[in-house]
Amino acid sequence: MSSELSVSVNGERRTVARGTRVREVLNGIPSKDLVAAKVNEKVVDLSRTLESDATVQPVLADSPEGLDVIRHSTAHLMAMAVQQLYPGTQVTIGPVIEDGFYYDFAPKTPFTIEDLPKIEARMKELAKADHKIERVEVTRAEAIKTFDAMGEKYKVQIIEENIPESEVVSIYKEGDWMDLCRGPHVPSTRYLRAFKLLSVAGAYWKGDEHNEMLSRIYGTAFASKEALDEHLKLLELARTRDHRKLGREMQLFFFDPISPGCPFFMPKGTIILNELLDYVRRLYRRYGYSEVVTPQVFRNSMFNTSGHWENFRENMFLSPDPEEDDERANTVDTSPEGWRRGYGLKPMNCPGHTFVYRAEKRSYRDLPLRLAEFTGLHRAERSGVLHGLSRVRLMHQDDAHIFCREDQIEDEFAGNIEMVRDVYSSLGFEKVEFKLATMPDLHLGTEEQWRAAEEKLANAMRRNEIPFEINPKEGAFYGPKIEIYVPDALKRKWQVATIQLDYNLPERFGLTYTASSGAEERPVMIHRAILGSVERFISVLIEHTGGVLPFWLAPEQVRVLSLSEKVESYAVELTGLIRKAGYRAESDIRNEKLGFKVREAELAKVPYMVVVGEREAADRTVSLRKLRGEKSQALTVENLIEMMRKEPLPA
């Protein structure tokens, strides 16, 4: 074995001794900027030694990989501080998440938000102390013995359940503190210069409500204080724009324990929901879709055929068969064979649409057949993941399924991609990003079928000159999908639309069409939703706009504000004229000061505030104030209505 290695750094090939540390190879890069390295595309500690030829790249603090390393190391720093401050607390897992990290603890007493300043102060002391972070590798048996002696039962369980006996276990040490971890980490705690603990929450061990409740602490970290401050400003803005808060203030929706996770849309919220659905309906007419309505409740045998019983039944609301006359009539069987009895509320529309397809004999001339539906869908989401309109148990989708021939697939995808761009540009999202979600571990069909389907989706995006990323193992269980993301005004990315290719459901339901040759052939099925869950989309839109919706979508477009009792009749008459012109208008003729009325209208995000006093009543004019901060202007009623007509409408 040669004592020398060939190493490529930034395209330059050099020879180094075997066992050289990665940090030495990257000499010349300021240490404050360098937190880790990529060796043959794998991120590793700077202290790792090179044992074979390699390509080495620096991982800088402000790069995406560098931020992950910093946040992971900060999670360890937090765990170290917690165990120093609260002896007897056990540690469990502390992963990096989008924009931050969390760590789940098993303390003697659950943590509260009041504990965070104390923990953060200790973290700053530990960071300043510049503890070296070292990786140690031991056998599985040694690791179990070490953590068992420390009283860390969760770490022992993680090792026993997840690490094979033959595998080496890595432990990271900071001073006299240690943790089970794959790494990588920064070289020492002084690299952790900008962090903030954000919140606390309860979390079940392994996410299972039957296990112990743990204390989760969320935090974030950045490469610099400036980047951290900018992020904290966005978080504060996000709090002011929280759709749950604005939903109450704007009187859009509410939740009640009588129906957990299911939103009650109030009149104004219902306007937003219906306007969005009507907009999509107009697009359907342009793109050649037919709307259908299918049942809410189906026999479980259908879900067995579709694969939902095997892959999704834990997320379904199930019911016994009321016509059974034995002791089973009042029981729900959730076993693998339980599909033979009972009913389920549909969690998605696709199985029902296969019945619409096969209700008639289909010819190749009938394809593509595009079926759309807006009826409610129910999913038995765990209570711990419910979050306003973002995660609900009852939702509406702008759901559609396209049954087409193999040679029509790329054209259908191109049409849906065009629709995505139409919708999101019309709704004020300037950038749309695409990902290809590939075969998950739990799936229908063969790997060969999946790879062929994935390549078709990739080709459809290439044909439309769409750059995309791969999202590995995130496809639906029945087929790969294109995921569409939009960044909002708060720099957060939301996954909204999906377009999925499916060979499995047509096969399972025995769907056919008569080809031009006269032979019976199998159609391909495309699942697509442009807004996705409309409830979730409304939450994204409210937070993106801060509740200042486009004029056409605002639930109350105009509010007429009277200055005194003398002009009440004119205010009411004016409101009626605006309504007759086709706009949503209300009048505020209460005996309150104008400033109070304006503030209430602004809180309700009303785009047009029309002020009328005695002069306006005498001249048959109005004084217009706009929510977006434009100065007041005097207008005739006709000019006011003409101005509203010129407000932009979606494509």
Position 11, amino acid: G
Catalytic-role residue among 527, 544, 559, 605: 527
- Closest to 277 measured CA to CA, from 529, 566, 47, 491: 529
Q: Round to whole Å and give the CA distance between 437 and 501.
A: 11
Match 């050649």 to its residue by tokens: 288
- Closest to 64 measured CA to CA, from 93, 40, 35: 35
Catalytic-role residue among 185, 231, 268, 379: 379
- Residue 522 gets which letter from DSSP? P
- Residue 556 gets which letter from DSSP? S
- Are the C-beta atoms of 390 and 346 separated by less than 8 Å? no
Q: Round to whole Å and give the CA distance between 593 and 596.
A: 5
Catalytic-role residue among 350, 362, 500, 508: 350
Longest Cα–Cα distance of the chain, Å, equals: 100
Catalytic-role residue among 57, 83, 90, 397: 397
Catalytic-role residue among 268, 353, 481, 625: 481
- Are the C-beta atoms of 110 and 215 separated by less than 8 Å? yes
Match 């086709």 to its residue by tokens: 582
262 labelled catalytic = no
308 labelled catalytic = no
Q: Round to whole Å and give the CA distance between 134 and 513.
A: 64
- Residue 40 gets which letter from DSSP? T
Catalytic-role residue among 401, 544, 597, 605: 401
- Closest to 434 measured CA to CA, from 398, 458, 463: 458
Encode 570-604: b = buried (16+ Cβ within 10 Å), e = exposed. Answer: bbebbbeebeebebbbebbbeeeebeebbebbeeb
Six-digit token string for 568:
């009440």
Length of the chain: 651
For β-strands 42-44 and 34-39, DSSP reports them as antiparallel
Instruction: Give the helix/strand (H/E) hosting 22.
Output: helix 22-25
Catalytic-role residue among 115, 399, 488, 588: 399
List all residues 6 or more positions away from 12 whose beta carbon is below 8 Å from its beta carbon.
none
527 labelled catalytic = yes
Q: Round to whole Å and give the CA distance between 487 and 479.
A: 26
Question: Helix or strand or coil: residue 343?
Answer: strand
**End-to-end C-alpha distance for the chain, whole angstroms:** 68
408 labelled catalytic = no
Annotated catalytic residues are: 350, 379, 397, 399, 401, 481, 527
